[in-house]
Amino acid sequence: MKSYRFFAIVASLFLLAAPLSVSAQSNIMYGSSRNPLMNSANPAFFPSRSRAYLSLPGMNLNLSSPLAYSSIFQYDTAAKQTNINLNSILDTLCDDKLRFGTNINAVGFGLDLGKFFLTFSTQAKVDFSFGMPSGVVTFLREGNSGYIGDNTLELLDGNIVAARVYGEGAVGFGFRINDELTVAARAKLLIGYLDLSDAGSSLTIRTEPDYSAMTANMDINMNYTSFVDISTDSNTNQTTTHVRTYMPKNYGLNFDLGARYATDLFEVSASILDIGPGIHWKDGVKKIVSANENNSFTFTGVDVSSVMHGGTLDSTYTNMLIDSLKSLAEYKTIEGEGDYWTSIPTKVNIGGMFHITQGVSAGLLFHGEFERGIVKVGDVFKTKNVGFYSRTSVLARANFRDWIEVVASASVLTSNGNWNWFNPGIGITLTPFRAIQLYTFLDYISNIYVVDAKQLNISLGLNLFLGSSSAK
């Protein structure tokens, strides 16, 4: 037995050292019965065979990309060379976003008191997304021929880039109504450190009915808050960076709800996470806006007589045109321009597991994620859905020798109407001495060739158990 446990520790340490890349919540972790981190997906979950646990620093890295190697490069067999497929890149970015995120689990604690249990956790989170607005793709591929007169072509709709860094401290309470049914709730205090979000930027192109002129109007309007202050001296052109070390006053409060019904034969569960308005940004707020009030440029064609003189090209006229175009993108930063809110995507989990034997279970899990835009108008909040992502997984779980748990999955992923049909995953949780637990989960493996993988999720970390119970 000792040799098996030694091997398990060595194997887990090897997995912990594996390369890191990664998507949103890992469905495969939801299928675990012994890992404390399953509580983050449903507050009604508490790890079996433990009275108390301490979750030490661990990491979950997230990567969801519509682009893969085959989307970017195309091999020309006739010319025997590899070319960049620009049309494929534009179409792909138009349909979906590049999304990256990471959760660093700083510390967590759970205490089972029989009829009820308490949980506490702290995390640092990073979210980033980048998308190509459909209007830009239309203009690059088709030009403006279909948008004449009052039919204005909208190139930008705010769906370009968003970034957020924030901390989360959570306190949860679970209550066992009877031997089968458990309900739970969790409150989350959010502290915002960095945010870059669109506040209504736009770029439109209008072409006169007689094609005599084409006018572009651009309005840059971004919210920006950061714990890093960057300033440039206009006289010396020297840039200085100052990191603010105090706790920012950018707070938010969200809630999680969960329920679990379990018998000896089966269990069903559901949770809804991040209910609430999100983060209120009011400390170090800045506005990034267009530098010019009437930010437009009208193009009436090229006067050849102004460009060519004596058979030579006069760059003065062309440089003037280039400078006029550049002025559209010029921006300025305004300090302290009021407060604003940003939302945290709301997540829904619905799952069920059938216990085939005492140590083997199988089931299904649906995870949906609503990415929302939020605007505060006076004292009224208005929200709009700007993205929906889902993962539907077939799960299988097996427990061996009381200290090895293996979970496997196969998931179907959707992102704004795009489907990815087969994404396997596997995870292992090792608790060789009942006091120390090592775990690693690899989920959403969309392709065995890393360069063609569009989804990937990996989690790893270490937990300590301060008490155990064989009755669970």
- Write the pLDDT tens digit of every residue in 47-63: 887 889 998 887 777 77
258-272, 315-329, 375-389, 442-456: which range is least confident on average? 375-389
**CATH code at 179?**
2.40.160
* Cα(214)–Cα(155) distance, integer angstroms: 14
Domain that holds residue 144: 2-291+330-467
**Secondary structure letter of residue 403 according to DSSP:** T
* Cα(413)–Cα(444) distance, integer angstroms: 8
CA dihedral sign of residues 438, 413, 42, 266: negative
Q: Assess whether pLDDT exceeds 60 at residue 472.
A: no
Element (H, E) at 316: helix 315-328
Interacting residues of 357 by C-beta distance below 8 A, sequence separation 6+:
none
Element (H, E) at 446: none
Q: At what angle do helices 134-142 and 86-95 cross, to 10 degrees?
A: 150
Inside any domain, residue 48: yes
Inside any domain, residue 323: no
Inside any domain, residue 319: no
Q: What is the pTM of this model?
A: 0.77
Inside any domain, residue 321: no
Q: Assess whether pLDDT exceeds 60 at residue 378.
A: no
Task: Tell me if residue 339 falls in helix, strand or coil.
Answer: coil
Distance of alpha carbon 4 from its chain centroid, rounded? 38
307-316, 379-388, 394-403: which range is least confident on average? 379-388
Interacting residues of 77 by C-beta distance below 8 A, sequence separation 6+:
none
Inside any domain, residue 93: yes
Cβ distance 366 to 392 under 8 Å?
Answer: yes
Winning range, highest mean pLDDT, from 46-50, 75-79, 207-211, 336-340:
46-50
**Secondary structure letter of residue 148 according to DSSP:** B
Inside any domain, residue 140: yes
Inside any domain, residue 324: no
Cβ distance 54 to 466 under 8 Å?
Answer: yes
Total structural domains within the chain: 1
Inside any domain, residue 370: yes
